[in-house]
């Protein structure tokens, strides 16, 4: 059989009803498949969310750093300007200082409860202290909270995934920490991050 005869034979077979049905079926299947694929891609695009940090914070809570409260022995540092082993403080600060308190490698040896009439202030005497601004160690037991977590006299505590404002009473503070006299309980979770009242939060592990 020549090449021409083979081609004519193929054409003749394609013209039969059965061959036409097969071809039409293939074409219809391809069209349906193309539409199905397009609808699938469209569905995937509709269900895909672009990550938005603000929306995620609202839905799942703002990630926050926290500190669990437990009473502990700690140290606050109160500045004292010393010259020739003497320092002068006003009536508001004098009660912070006591005999025996450490100032680095030296200590306080006396605290005047009466005002020095020449200076109008209370006199604190030290022993073996260098001249200049020194830090007096104030030892106390209680709840120590970073001052960065305090707004006025308020801290925020975690309550079931929600930030709640809590009023506190501070008995002392330095540049880093505050000693809380009341308003906190053992086991309270103080939020260290910037939050708002009733804001949904997520504690960072």
**Same domain, residue pair 192 and 101:** no
**Same domain, residue pair 31 and 114:** no
Of 143, 135, 136, nearest to 178 (Cα)? 143
Residue 167 has pLDDT above 80, yes or no: yes
* 55 within a domain of the structure (yes/no): no
Stretch 163-184: mean pLDDT: 94
Residue 44 has pLDDT above 70, yes or no: no
Q: Coil, strand, or helix at residue 77?
A: strand
pLDDT of 47-69, one tens digit each? 655 556 666 666 677 899 999 99
**Same domain, residue pair 194 and 143:** yes
* 56 within a domain of the structure (yes/no): no
**Same domain, residue pair 19 and 67:** no
* 19 within a domain of the structure (yes/no): yes
Stretch 75-83: mean pLDDT: 94
Q: What is the pTM of this model?
A: 0.66
The CATH number for 157's domain is 2.40.420.20
pLDDT of 123-145, one tens digit each? 999 999 999 999 999 999 999 99
Residue 11 has pLDDT above 60, yes or no: no
**Same domain, residue pair 109 and 149:** no
Per DSSP, the residues of 83-135 read: BTTEEEE-HHHHTT--TT-EETTEEEEEE-SS-BTTTTBEEEEEESPPSEEEE
Where in the sequence is the domain holding 204, given as residue range(s)?
61-76+139-205
* 53 within a domain of the structure (yes/no): no
Helix, strand, coil tally for the chain in percent (to 5): 30, 40, 30
pLDDT given for residue 197 in this prediction: 94
Residue 46 pLDDT grade (very low, low, confident, very high; cuts 50, 70, 90): low
**Same domain, residue pair 11 and 28:** yes
Residue 3 has pLDDT above 90, yes or no: no
**Same domain, residue pair 144 and 68:** yes
* 40 within a domain of the structure (yes/no): yes
**Same domain, residue pair 198 and 161:** yes
Cα separation, 202 vs 205, in Å, equals 9
Residue 204 has pLDDT above 90, yes or no: no
* 52 within a domain of the structure (yes/no): no
| Mean pLDDT for all residues in the chain | 86
- Contact assessment for residue 114 and residue 122, using Cβ atoms and an 8 Å cutoff: yes
**Same domain, residue pair 169 and 68:** yes
Q: Pick left, alpha or beta for residue 47 (phi over 0 → left; psi -120 to 50 → alpha; otherwise beta).
A: alpha
- Residue 61's Cβ-count burial label (10 Å; 0-12, 13-18, 19+) is middle
**Same domain, residue pair 157 and 201:** yes
**Same domain, residue pair 110 and 156:** no
**Same domain, residue pair 70 and 146:** yes
* 54 within a domain of the structure (yes/no): no
Q: How many domains does the chain have?
A: 3
């Amino acid at each position: 059989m020549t090449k021409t005869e083979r081609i004519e034979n193929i054409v003749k077979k394609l013209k039969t009803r059965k061959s036409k049905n097969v071809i039409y079926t293939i074409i219809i299947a391809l069209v349906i498949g193309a539409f199905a694929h397009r609808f699938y891609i469209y569905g995937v695009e509709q269900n895909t969310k672009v990550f938005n940090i603000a929306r995620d914070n609202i839905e799942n809570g703002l990630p926050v750093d926290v500190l669990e409260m437990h009473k502990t022995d700690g140290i606050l540092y109160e500045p004292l300007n010393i010259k020739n082993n003497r320092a002068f403080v006003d009536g508001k600060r004098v009660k912070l200082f006591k005999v025996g308190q450490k100032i680095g490698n030296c200590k306080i040896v006396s605290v005047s409860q009466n005002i020095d009439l020449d200076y109008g202030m209370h006199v604190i005497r030290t022993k073996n202290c260098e001249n200049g601004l020194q830090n007096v160690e104030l030892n106390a037991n209680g709840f120590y909270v970073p001052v960065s977590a305090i707004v006025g006299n308020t801290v925020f505590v975690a309550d079931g995934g929600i930030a709640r404002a809590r009023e506190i009473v501070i008995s002392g503070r330095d540049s880093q920490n505050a000693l809380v006299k009341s308003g906190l309980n053992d086991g309270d979770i103080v939020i260290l991050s910037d939050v708002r009242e009733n804001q949904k939060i997520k504690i960072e592990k």
